[in-house]
Amino acid sequence: MTSWPDLADPCTDPTEVAEAAAAVIAEQTGADHHDVALVLGSGWARTADLIGTTVATVDNSLVPGFRKPAVEGHAGSMRSVAIGSTGKRALVFGTRTHFYEGHGVRAVVHGVRTARAAGCTTLVLTNGCGGLNPAWGPGTPVLIRDHLNLTANSPIEGAHFVDLTDLYSARLRAIARRVDPGLDEGVYVQFRGPHYETPAEVAMARILGGDLVGMSTALEAIAAREAGLEVLGISLVTNLAAGISATPLSHEEVLEAGRAAAGRCGSLLAAVVTRIAEGAR
Ligand code: 8IG
């Protein structure tokens, strides 16, 4: 068993672990670099197959700094996917580490830093979330236009004052809307979780300008911007946020909405990633 520096150790440079991870990924996938990285959140797991042919699947446990998933419905592996016939490669993370797991923010953004180290210039972040707009029924994909980070944390270490204007690339959002002109946009609010919000917290999120509530994505997007990646964020509304709908939330409902929306989300993601790859580099 090889050992690598512990991400959680403050003396460890997280970039070094990301570089070690990228080296293992290159070795395991036979691809010296990847172009586009994707993080598949709740409801998005099945979409990778539509992007192209999976060339290699790598168990997370083989890759420095990666953890086993804590959530049912997430896969503990990453894959290298040939994007259609573009000649480009996607690095698809089938799972993410959530902030609420308590392993620290470095673990949360390790995939993002690894994507950068693997050569990616674009990052597509997907998630399942609660919707505040009653017009967005379960199974509606929504583009993330901006976010509110309510975790009281940042992935950035040291005095790096990273600009987050246009964090969610207007260029990439326009590409997505060309693929699906009916796509709405919204402001994603990252709460810590793992509990869902109270109705009062959802009302607060609305007053603050939020449209979507979830437990991921914002911290990863910040790390991506620090790393110089262009970011596209797409949420899948799997449930109406607490207090918006009359029924209580359940993880089952979330999984079911994901299964039902897999087709639409898959073709959307495949078309968007193909267009990005056609224009990338
Ligand atoms: I899926 O309603 C999913 N994830 N915070 N609130 C929060 N996270 C979520 C929700 C939700 N649905």
Our answer on whether the CB atom of 254 is closer than 6 Å to any ligand 1 atom is yes
> Helix, strand or coil for residue 98?
coil
Q: So what's the pLDDT on residue 2? A: 57
Locate the ligand 1 atom nearest the alpha carbon of residue 193 and give its number: 5
Q: Comparing C-alpha atoms, which of 143, 158, 133, 159 is closest to residue 221? A: 143
Tell me which of 19, 197, 220, 230 is the catalytic residue: 197
Report pLDDT digits (tens) over 205-238: 999 999 999 999 999 999 999 999 999 999 999 8
Residues 213, 216, 219, CA angle at the centre, nearest 5°?
Answer: 115
* pLDDT surpassing 70 at residue 86: yes
Per DSSP (E only), the strands in the chain are 36-39, 52-59, 77-83, 89-93, 122-131, 140-149, 184-190, 212-214, 230-240
> Helix, strand or coil for residue 172?
helix
Ligand 1 centre from 54 Cα, in Å?
A: 29
Q: Comparing C-alpha atoms, which of 199, 190, 206 is closest to residue 246? A: 199
* pLDDT surpassing 50 at residue 281: no
Our answer on whether the CB atom of 42 is closer than 6 Å to any ligand 1 atom is yes
Domain boundaries, the chain: 14-277
Our answer on whether the CB atom of 237 is closer than 6 Å to any ligand 1 atom is no
The span from the CA of 157 to the CA of 159, in Å, is 7
When pLDDT is cut at 50, 70 and 90, the band that residue 263 belongs to is confident
Ligand 1 centre from 213 Cα, in Å?
A: 6
Report pLDDT digits (tens) over 13-69: 999 999 999 999 999 999 999 999 999 998 888 788 889 999 999 999 999 999 766
Give me the CATH topology for the region 14-277.
Rossmann fold (3.40.50)
Our answer on whether the CB atom of 210 is closer than 6 Å to any ligand 1 atom is no
Ligand 1 centre from 29 Cα, in Å?
A: 33
Ligand 1 centre from 231 Cα, in Å?
A: 21
* pLDDT surpassing 80 at residue 264: yes
State the average pLDDT over residues 254-258.
76
Cβ proximity of 21 and 114 under 8 Å: yes
- Does residue 252 carry a catalytic annotation? no
Report pLDDT digits (tens) over 104-123: 999 999 999 999 999 999 99
Query: What is the token pair recorded at 176?
Result: 């997505």
Cβ proximity of 166 and 246 under 8 Å: no
> Helix, strand or coil for residue 92?
strand
Our answer on whether the CB atom of 239 is closer than 6 Å to any ligand 1 atom is yes
Q: Which of 196, 217, 240 to mutate to test the pocket of ligand 1 (most atoms within 8 A of CB)?
A: 196
> Helix, strand or coil for residue 171?
helix
Our answer on whether the CB atom of 197 is closer than 6 Å to any ligand 1 atom is yes
In this predicted model, which residue has the larger pLDDT, 280 or 147? 147
In this predicted model, which residue has the larger pLDDT, 158 or 260? 158
What pTM value is reported for the model?
0.94
Q: What is the chain's mean pLDDT, rounded?
A: 91
In this predicted model, which residue has the larger pLDDT, 264 or 273? 273
The span from the CA of 98 to the CA of 107, in Å, is 8
φ, ψ (nearest 5 deg) of residue 101: -70, -20
> Helix, strand or coil for residue 240?
strand
What is the H or E stretch that residue 226 is in? Answer: helix 218-226
* pLDDT surpassing 50 at residue 280: no
State the average pLDDT over residues 65-85.
78
